[in-house]
Structure 1
């Protein structure tokens, strides 16, 4: 290796000691590719369920063993980190792996070799990949580059959740941590009450937001510029192709994996702002979003697999920052565990409330008037 190449390598590594860990984000979509091989090698049909096992069991255990990483990038490195295209390719590589896995799953769903239970396990695994794919779309969709915004819509195709592209950026980020935001969970609200409220509320909001945007541009609903129709058309094309290739027998499994992906995404929404409320100014408007308005976690392993989604406080305070530049803040309320563990807790409402309610109260000094309460 030449001296110049070594200097470039060393400088990049010095700016971000975790630089090459971000490639591990591709392990998540690979869960959709490896089940058949694992079952063949081990003879254990349990591996059809590798997605839920990996995300809900393995990652929480490794997360607790490895611990947290509260280090932040230096301010003088921000521009170099933000403009380094290596980090973009770490998100780009997610997509081909994601869709290769989906077509392999389609072949297996359409066949007769797997039992119904095994096909359900494979659907659950694909659902996990679908949900994490929404997270990849989340990172790509925040970018101004035309290519990355289209890649975000493609990443959302497997879940059929294309309206997320509109609602998250122009709805959730504007209304976050307020009662008006369907994706901000209220204090005392269970996950199972939150999910349908968020799904329906987000869908309605996306329709209104896109209709208003098109009207401002003097365009009708069926314009080629309609971002909702663009995203949904990709899903329709993907699902239609799958059915043409493998038959309608795969439809229940396609729908199941999409549903699981959506619930996984909405569970992350539930975790990220539970009970948090931005104060109002004298004119009645909400104050600008700050790190205090999102739950933060510095659990290293989950952050690597989710492109630092857990540094959600800085993401909402500074939505233009790319994932590799996100910082941990002392102002942000801290989750006791990483998202993978918190997902398990959220699924059991009494356990969730035992873990989280006193943390919400402590964050606001016990003043219920400052909390986003259930209405």
Structure 2
């Protein structure tokens, strides 16, 4: 049933059909990956199928991206308001969470099966880590919205990966400092992923704490209190892990910790490629030009966009953080990745290949002037000499 607001805006909108309306339900296949893996193992008797999650994410999805192709179409601006108000699209993200947690509990129950091989345990952990990583993306979509319910659901989605501070740092840190040297989540030209990972993880924690401490201090509240969103988010993870440990025994703790690390590392892999080498011009000390589409890497690969709620249309997201995923637009001026996120993540893990593919694209984006890019300090001299 439509709300009055939806009926009113629909009446004013021209005829337009969202061809991908039911495609978004495919995103719910991701939290079922542990169940899929268990089913394949039961059918075949082969433990290797516990690795179904990484295979799905980093082999099958890139293949589908290549076969299905790209979609650069945008919804007409006249229907955006009505499209963004439809609750169906919200429920597509809400539904991720109960499946996510059902899969986590089930995976814990399977972790200590008698006779489980190391291949099976590692595969189950990696598959669950994929679910946790994509859950951070679901939390990202929910956490940008003004509705209290969605922001609370975002925090619940983040508890599995122990990355609750992301909600504070991303919204109030990254979106302010994106594509500048001050942003720990914006990768620099010449910076490999394995150097970026600890810088972004530690920088994000420190930034989130400082932002939350400043917010509470301005309101005259104690930093060490239940009003601290960073502390309460971390507490949710502690309670979750404690409950699962009580239910299944201390043996599940290594599984829980490793899947969490894999989950937030997957998120940081996405952070790495979204703004690699891109820089906003500094107008005066500490003050930068407004964020524009040219400050984010984008991709229109259909399959990856469906599974990631159009996160790949990252330029419009930074320009309009409250805009819902089904209404995000493609911009011709935004630099385009040579593939979807699923394939680019794997490339990012191989620093020499990543730099061979992406460094020339950054240089081309700045018309050959490497000094306009966000340069990794240790690589600055080499890059300037290489691209004079």
Instruction: Give the TM-score, by structure 2 length.
Output: 0.92
Partner Cα distance (1:149, 1:27) in 2? 23
8 Å Cα contact 1:15/1:74 also seen in 2: no
Give 1:229's aligned residue. 231
Report the CA distance between 1:182 and its aligned residue. Answer: 0.3
Partner Cα distance (1:33, 1:136) in 2? 19
Report the CA distance between 1:221 and its aligned residue. Answer: 1.6
Partner Cα distance (1:169, 1:259) in 2? 21
Give 2:137's aligned residue. 135
Give 2:157's aligned residue. 155
Report the CA distance between 1:224 and its aligned residue. Answer: 2.3
Report the CA distance between 1:237 and its aligned residue. Answer: 1.1
8 Å Cα contact 1:15/1:81 also seen in 2: no
- Give the stretch that moved more between structures: 17-26 or 219-228: 219-228
Give 1:364's aligned residue. 366
Partner Cα distance (2:151, 2:363) in 1? 38
Report the CA distance between 1:34 and its aligned residue. Answer: 2.1
8 Å Cα contact 1:297/1:334 also seen in 2: yes
* Inter-CA distance 192–15: structure 2 relative to 1 (3 Å threshold): same
SS state of the match for residue 116, structure 2? coil
8 Å Cα contact 1:29/1:129 also seen in 2: yes
Give 2:335's aligned residue. 333
Which consecutive aligned stretches of 4+ in structure 1 deviate over 6 angstroms post-superposition?
none
Give 1:5's aligned residue. none
Report the CA distance between 1:218 and its aligned residue. Answer: 1.0
Give 2:113's aligned residue. 111
SS state of the match for residue 281, structure 1? strand
Partner Cα distance (1:298, 1:269) in 2? 17
Instruction: Choose from 161, 186, 189 the match for 1:187.
Output: 189
1:205-224 map, 5 Å: 205-224=207-226
* Inter-CA distance 12–146: structure 2 relative to 1 (3 Å threshold): farther
Partner Cα distance (2:62, 2:15) in 1? 27
Give 1:243's aligned residue. 245
Structure 2 residue runs of 5 or longer lacking an equivalent are 1-9, 378-388
Instruction: Choose from 20, 23, 32 the match for 1:21.
Output: 23
1:219-368 map, 5 Å: 219-282=221-284, 285-368=287-370
Instruction: Choose from 195, 199, 222 the match for 1:197.
Output: 199
Alignment size in residue pairs: 366
Report the CA distance between 1:18 and its aligned residue. Answer: 0.5
- Give the stretch that moved more between structures: 126-135 or 110-119: 110-119
Partner Cα distance (1:151, 1:284) in 2? 34
2:68 is the counterpart of 1:70? no
* Inter-CA distance 13–130: structure 2 relative to 1 (3 Å threshold): farther
Once the two structures are superposed, what CA deviation does each residue of 1:39-85 show, in whole Å capped at 9, x if it has no partner? 11122322100110000100001101111000001101011111101
Report the CA distance between 1:113 and its aligned residue. Answer: 3.6
Once the two structures are superposed, what CA deviation does each residue of 1:77-110 show, in whole Å capped at 9, x if it has no partner? 0111111011110000000110000011101113
Instruction: Choose from 153, 165, 168 the match for 2:167.
Output: 165
SS state of the match for residue 34, structure 2? coil
Partner Cα distance (1:15, 1:372) in 2? 40
SS state of the match for residue 69, structure 1? coil
Partner Cα distance (2:325, 2:72) in 1? 14
Partner Cα distance (1:52, 1:282) in 2? 45
8 Å Cα contact 1:13/1:19 also seen in 2: no
Structure 1 residue runs of 5 or longer lacking an equivalent are 1-7
Once the two structures are superposed, what CA deviation does each residue of 1:135-156 show, in whole Å capped at 9, x if it has no partner? 0000000011101001000000
Partner Cα distance (1:92, 1:192) in 2? 33
Partner Cα distance (2:306, 2:271) in 1? 18
8 Å Cα contact 2:165/2:233 also seen in 1: yes
Report the CA distance between 1:196 and its aligned residue. Answer: 0.3
Report the CA distance between 1:234 and its aligned residue. Answer: 1.2
Report the CA distance between 1:284 and its aligned residue. Answer: 5.4
Partner Cα distance (1:39, 1:33) in 2? 10
8 Å Cα contact 1:191/1:349 also seen in 2: yes
SS state of the match for residue 292, structure 1? helix
Report the CA distance between 1:175 and its aligned residue. Answer: 0.2
2:55 is the counterpart of 1:53? yes
Give 1:87's aligned residue. 89
Report the CA distance between 1:111 and its aligned residue. Answer: 2.4
